Amino acid sequence: MALDMQRHPSGFIFTQQFADFLRDKYHAEEDRHTGEVLFLEYVSCVEGEKAGMSWWKLAWISLFSAPSENQLKIGETSVFIPRQSRRGLKNRLLHYADGQVVVRK
């Protein structure tokens, strides 16, 4: 199956499946998160005993902490991704398959 991929202007690549996952999560939880936006954080360790390992986290954050000019659109969903996480995601693929988010080089 071919993946429908798009490059975001900030440098990462995402599939339509990932965009659909974000949209579905947003709509399923938006009533409980008034005044908040989805927050995507990505950390990749470069050195130390965890070198080469990476983690991602998807949560909600107050709009006061994530002004609209710092929010990105992935598909039709607004998401706040901190600058450091955007750097870590540059040229990486965000995909959703089998109930899991996958980040690949």
Q: Would you place residue 70 in the very low, low, confident or very high pLDDT band (cuts 50, 70, 90)?
A: confident
* CATH for 12-104 (3.30.470.10, 2.40.340.10, 3.30.2320.30, 2.60.300.12): 2.60.300.12
CA distances (Å), 40 to each of 1, 48, 50, 101, in order?
27, 24, 21, 12
In this predicted structure, the answer to whether residue 1 has a pLDDT above a threshold of 70 is no
| Residue (of 2, 94, 1) closest to 41 by Cα position | 94
Q: Would you place residue 69 in the very low, low, confident or very high pLDDT band (cuts 50, 70, 90)?
A: confident
Domain positions in the chain: 12-104
Rounded mean pLDDT of 57-79? 92
Residue identified by tokens 């540059």 is: 90
Phi, psi of 52 (to 5 degrees): 90, -10
pTM check: above 0.85: yes
